[in-house]
Chains A and B, each alone.
Chain A
């Protein structure tokens, strides 16, 4: 027998054509790959996009203006951006204050009026010089007619991230950091830049009933994280919620639109952090077809060391809930200081609490898919 044709088909009688079942499998595989490629492919060049007003948690209009300008400069390379004044007038007409949290139907009407395909929403979480120059932004992209979030990203930079010997590489100018953050955020959206993975992820402790592939788990609704940090709890909760969107999206999850989640919670008469009862769960299941809920708590979000080189400390807890039954599928959390994994000469230190939260969240989400129990 010819060694090269010694396959099962040949042994059965010289049949070289693949069996119908195998052909179907191949076809399904090709369709799956094509689906993944479409899902992760960069948006079409020249498509019309509305850059929504930057949501500002810093109270600094000058920083917002710089970020907006940087985002427009980056996005206009690949998109045809709608004029800011036209967009502002449209949002006023539809009485939309926070465009990110509007229901998808209303966003669809705005899209029709402006003739846009894409919406790009950015939140400025931090832009401060004290204790270090730091900028944190998150972004989300929505596509007209798409019931799920198309993209979510998160970037946190500090002036010391790229500091080398004798203070070389130190960035003290917030405008520079904002421009860099805008470039990285839009870059990860258009797939020109991948996120850097230089810092090791902390070990986390997550109990899970079974290993879960979040990429094939159906629609996940991210509910607002609770802030239990005392000072700045609300902002920490909102920031980590945006971070959860970004990390879950990176993991391939199909995410319900934040505006749709807000709408369902509002209709169910549930506040942001009023707990999840069976009514809320059934509303989320019926309204969004979300089979899983992802939420958690920000336990610590602070600087434990101050001075020239401050050290942040962050503790997060997450939980994954089965929507129809309310059963906890995964539960856990971890805590970490910014210098816990430092190497020689202080390399590997994390200075930004938001970046530290990102590493922790990546570790927790990765744990959901690990085989074996806690």
Chain B
């Protein structure tokens, strides 16, 4: 009897954990690039393709915080990145390879991080509201301007409680935080 209860509890726990999560990330890594060479990176403001107007700014901030907290690389102060972008004439968003090389020389960084928020919305599934965030991030090295790492990750924010019991889902900012954290873990982990 005890064994059966334990199995039921384990299954329930697994279901709860499975409810809060996302899709498996799509990832690219350039096998010829030595990531140990990267000591300092510049994070460019993320583009925002989502309906939420402040999603790009928030994703950029979370990405910088998580990168700094991971301790693997140093990050250039965002104000300096903004000033450097303003100094380069005709720079587009996202910048071209030439502009990234120029940015690398100007900021003395080995790589530039670019990204976009592809989705940041709360979708309705029956009576349940599920926050969904999809982020795309890539690292471009500043010697040749080529992409050396890229990842796309989707994170959903409704647990089993929300799905089956109708309790409130987590705030979308929390879903985005988790999505960014997982992306950074894939980079430095």
Contact = CB atoms under 8 A, between A and B. Distances in A.
A274 B79 CA distance: 8
Contact of A321 (B79, B81, B84): B79
Interface of B: 53-54, 57-58, 61, 64-65, 68-69, 74-87, 171, 173, 177
30 contacts: A205-B177, A206-B65, A207-B68, A228-B57, A229-B54, A230-B53, A274-B83, A274-B86, A275-B79, A275-B80, A275-B81, A275-B82, A275-B84, A276-B77, A276-B79, A277-B83, A277-B84, A295-B79, A299-B54, A299-B58, A300-B58, A315-B58, A328-B77, A331-B64, A331-B65, A332-B61, A332-B65, A335-B58, A337-B171, A373-B69
Interface of A: 205-207, 223, 228-230, 274-278, 280, 295, 297, 299-300, 315, 317, 319, 321, 326-328, 331-333, 335, 337, 373-374
Contacts of A326: 76-77, 80
Question: What does DSSP make chain B's interface, helix, strand, loop or mixed?
Answer: helix
A374 B77 contact: no
Nearest to A316: B61
Contacts of A374: 65, 68-69
Given A275-B84, A321-B77, A335-B173, A299 B57 contact: yes
A205 B61 CA distance: 11
Given A277-B84, A374-B65, A319 B78 contact: yes
A321 B64 CA distance: 14
B65 A297 contact: no
A241 to B, nearest CB: 14
A297 B68 contact: no
A341 B64 CA distance: 27
Contacts of B61: 297, 299, 317, 331-333
B145 to A, nearest CB: 22
Contact of B83 (A205, A276, A331, A333): A276
Nearest to A332: B65
A203 B79 CA distance: 25
A374 B61 CA distance: 14
Given A300-B58, A328-B76, 8 more contacts: A229-B54, A274-B82, A274-B86, A275-B81, A276-B77, A277-B87, A331-B61, A374-B68
Nearest to A208: B68
Nearest to B64: A331
Contacts of A275: 79-86
A207 B80 CA distance: 18
Contacts of A317: 57, 61
Interface centre among B68, B76, B171 (most CB of A within 10 A): B68
Nearest to A205: B65
A300 B83 contact: no
Interface centre among A297, A300, A335, A337 (most CB of B within 10 A): A335
A321 B77 CA distance: 8
B82 to A, nearest CB: 3
